[in-house]
């Protein structure tokens, strides 16, 4: 029975076994209710908004899009909904893309029942639950930022990028350093292709696409897909 304190949760996960597991976990909790289970990004983006769940459990690797793209589409429509990424991806780029898109927490699979429920309650209460390995990588990445200016008694950071070794090199010069395959990936992403679509277009795996994106981020000195696209377009207009 739903009560005012019940946490209404939607699940977006392409693995049928995990969908069942998440549903069972939610049904076993007295304070949680599963209001919808979705296997694709298209289903999630079209059918979740009318449900207005309190929390969304979101996978990253979906058949027709990425969880990050779903977050970017859903977050503006559901400002009161907390989005919790639950995924196998542990790279800083995916983590920062998800958080920049609007995710409120990030857990790495496999997640034990009690940890998942605790994270749902935490994120619903305004917290930012993260697996320890992710939290450590986030901290390490911020610590590697270059200080932009020093003021007596404190250090001011530029905030331009959370990626290591960021510089202010011109976009055009940066793009010249990209390998041919990296340039292909960049061009497709700028056109709006998802990781899945890039994978299909170039005949490579989605994990390989992620590797190329990581290299592109490093060479363009950006920390998210949004920054990457903006940097590339500035270079094209120069």
> In this structure, are 127 and 229 located in the same domain?
no
Quick check: 154 pLDDT over 50? no
Percentage of the chain beyond pLDDT 90 is 37
Instruction: Pick the last residue of a domain from 137, 164, 191.
Output: 137
Q: Based on the domain organization, do 41 and 125 belong to the same domain?
A: yes
At residue 153 the predicted structure's pLDDT band, cuts being 50, 70 and 90, is: very low
Please check whether residues 155 and 86 belong to one and the same domain.
no
pTM (2 d.p.): 0.61
- One domain, residues 95 and 208: no
Are 13 and 95 within one domain?
yes
Residue 1 lies inside a defined structural domain of this protein: no
Whether 142 maps to a domain, the answer reads no
pLDDT band at 163 (very low <50, low <70, confident <90, very high): very low
Looking up residue 220, the CATH number of its domain turns out to be 1.10.10.10
In a domain, 119, yes or no: yes
Domain endpoint, select from 105, 137, 169:
137
What DSSP state is assigned to residue 83? E
pLDDT for 226 equals 62
Clarify whether residues 162 and 132 are in a common domain. no
Same domain, 24 and 84: yes
Domain-embedded: residue 64: yes
Characterize the bridge pairing of strands 82-87 and 55-58.
parallel
Does residue 142 register a pLDDT over 90? no
Region 69-93: mean pLDDT is 90
Domain total of the chain: 2
Alpha carbons 181 and 197: distance in angstroms, whole number:
15
Could you list the residue range(s) of the whole structural domain that residue 70 is in?
A: 7-137
Q: Predicted confidence band at 224 (pLDDT cuts at 50, 70, 90)?
A: low
Q: How confident is the model at residue 118 (pLDDT cuts 50, 70, 90)?
A: very high
Looking at the structure, tell me whether residues 128 and 159 fall in a common domain: no
What CA–CA distance (Å, rounded) separates 46 from 118? 28
Query: Tens digit of pLDDT for each residue in 56-76?
Result: 999 998 988 889 989 989 998
β pairing state of 105-108 and 7-12: unpaired
Given pLDDT bands bounded at 50, 70 and 90, which one contains residue 3? low
């Amino acid at each position: 029975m739903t009560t005012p304190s019940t946490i209404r949760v939607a699940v977006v996960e392409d693995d049928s076994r995990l969908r069942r597991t998440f549903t069972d976990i939610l049904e076993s909790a007295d304070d949680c209710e599963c209001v919808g289970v979705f296997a694709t990004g298209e289903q999630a983006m079209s059918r979740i908004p009318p449900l207005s769940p309190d929390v969304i459990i979101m996978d990253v690797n979906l058949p027709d899009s990425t969880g990050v793209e779903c977050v970017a589409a859903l977050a503006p429509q559901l400002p009161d909904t907390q989005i919790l990424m639950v995924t196998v991806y542990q790279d800083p780029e995916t983590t920062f893309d998800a958080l920049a898109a609007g995710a409120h927490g990030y857990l790495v699979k496999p997640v034990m029942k009690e940890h998942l429920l605790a994270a749902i309650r935490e994120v619903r209460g305004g917290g930012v639950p993260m697996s320890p390995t992710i939290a450590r990588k986030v901290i390490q990445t911020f610590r590697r930022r270059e200080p932009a200016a020093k003021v007596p008694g404190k250090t001011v950071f530029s905030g331009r990028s959370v990626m290591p070794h960021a510089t202010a090199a011109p976009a055009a010069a940066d793009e010249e350093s990209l390998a041919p395959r990296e340039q292909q990936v960049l061009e497709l992403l700028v056109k709006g292709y998802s990781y899945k679509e890039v994978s299909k277009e170039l005949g490579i795996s989605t994990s390989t696409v992620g590797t190329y994106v990581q290299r592109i981020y490093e060479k363009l000195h950006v920390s998210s897909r949004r920054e990457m696209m903006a940097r590339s377009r500035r270079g094209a207009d120069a």
